[in-house]
Chain A
Amino acid sequence: MFKSVLEGSAAAPDMMVMVNGVETPAWNGETVASILLRVPNVGRTSPVSGKPRLPYCQMGVCFDCLAVVDGIASTQGCLVAVRPGMRIDIQRGPREIAR
């Protein structure tokens, strides 16, 4: 996994977010995709092949950074900045929409 350049530096985390239920430090300006790249087992699985995926394009095109963010599935992680207390959960398979 990647490591943030700010991890272990003098810059204290700006906030805590919940990643798969675990409190995780995060910094202002960081995207959800960045979290997916540095925390194990949050990357989605493809609804077509079932294979694991991680963020790729970082610009809203490839859809490989989808995650469940604050309960909303299929959120494009690279387009969303972290907020204090945000819940980020792994998305397995396609989004289920309410009936």
Chain B
Amino acid sequence: MDADIIIIGAGVVGAALAYGIAKKGHKVIVLDGKDRDLRAARANFGLVWVQGKGSDTPAYTELTLQSSDLWPTFRQELAEAAGSRVDYSRRGGLAFCLSEADYQAREALLERTHNRQRQAYTEMLGRHALERMLPAVTLGNAVVGASYCELDGHTNPLQLYAALLAAVSTLGSQVRFRTPVTAIKPMSGGFEVDTLQGGVRARRVIVAAGLATPGLTDPLGLVVPLYAERGQILVTERLAPMLPLPASGLRQTSEGTMMIGATNEKAFDTGVTIQSAIKLAHRAQRIIPALGSVRLVRQWSGLRVLSPDKAPIYAESTRHAGLFAAVCHSGVTLAAAHAAIVGPAMAEGQLPQNLAAFSNGRFDVQKCA
């Protein structure tokens, strides 16, 4: 065997799993694809977000809460292990409502989620409360209010990603870039993973290859239903600090740039469009009109990795024990849980009962008339 565990995919999900597993003393080899493969990990907005997550899937809400609470320690330990900076702050987060209807819909969504929550941690704020919270900002007339969640935070997703990759190496495991996997072959006592650079063997395999996951797991009977959704993001020049806490779709980074996001589009390439730039810039300006004079410096897009109910999939093959899939949309928010809970559990070959709700089996229901 070349390693205890092979992880296919060195995105933010695979890297967080690898970091958590390597920390437990296992030897991991992470196999990454080609430079031009889809890379959601490099397109991320950077929220560590709780509010509204899993409004229809209570287990997802629970896992998100858990990860959000693990984040401060996770961040500190990771920055030390990697020897690099990972910007992070947790002063709560906002979701702006730009009409009465918007405000009421948001309130209804949160009430629905609240019914099942351990405690109420999200509240609706009217315009005046919002103005007190954001003294350096003059809000646009359209802003009716916002929902506010005290547990929300944000990070620099590229620093997070770089730190995870660095920490994996520091802990004695290995990331092999430009090593695309062609097939996973079960063998006695484990698996042989074929790559363009030859075979690699380990007792267990975790496929965390985002949208490329089904192509590797489906042939072995581990069916992982996923779809892609494109999100476009704008970033502005650096500005003096004005937004003390992040909002859904608008956050100021610690360097001062303003990130504006993100669209939800049915598209399967990572291109950008003028229509989406206009839509995003227009919404940001309705929230903070002064942003109208600010220069944009970059626009990009990425493809979200979504399951049919938008919650993560953590699954083990029923046919081939030791073959796992780990795919989700919220790789940044869930990074702490992936490192502390999901990765170590997969490395031990046993998904705990509280992750059973994330099995791919949940989609195997007969369609009724």
Contact = CB atoms under 8 A, between A and B. Distances in A.
Interface of A: 47-48, 63, 74, 93-99
A48 B255 contact: yes
B238 A95 contact: yes
Interface in B194-253: 237-240, 242
Nearest to B293: A97
Contacts of B295: 74
A98 B293 contact: yes
Interface string B243-272: 000000000000110000000000000000
Nearest to A95: B239
B238 A97 contact: no
B368 to A, nearest CB: 56
Contacts, number: 36
B290 A47 contact: no
Nearest to A76: B295
B138 interface: yes
A48 B241 CA distance: 12
Nearest to A72: B293
Nearest to B242: A97
A99 B138 contact: yes
B240 A74 contact: no
B369 interface: no
Nearest to A66: B237
A60 to B, nearest CB: 10
B291 interface: yes
Contacts of A74: 237-238, 295
A73 to B, nearest CB: 9
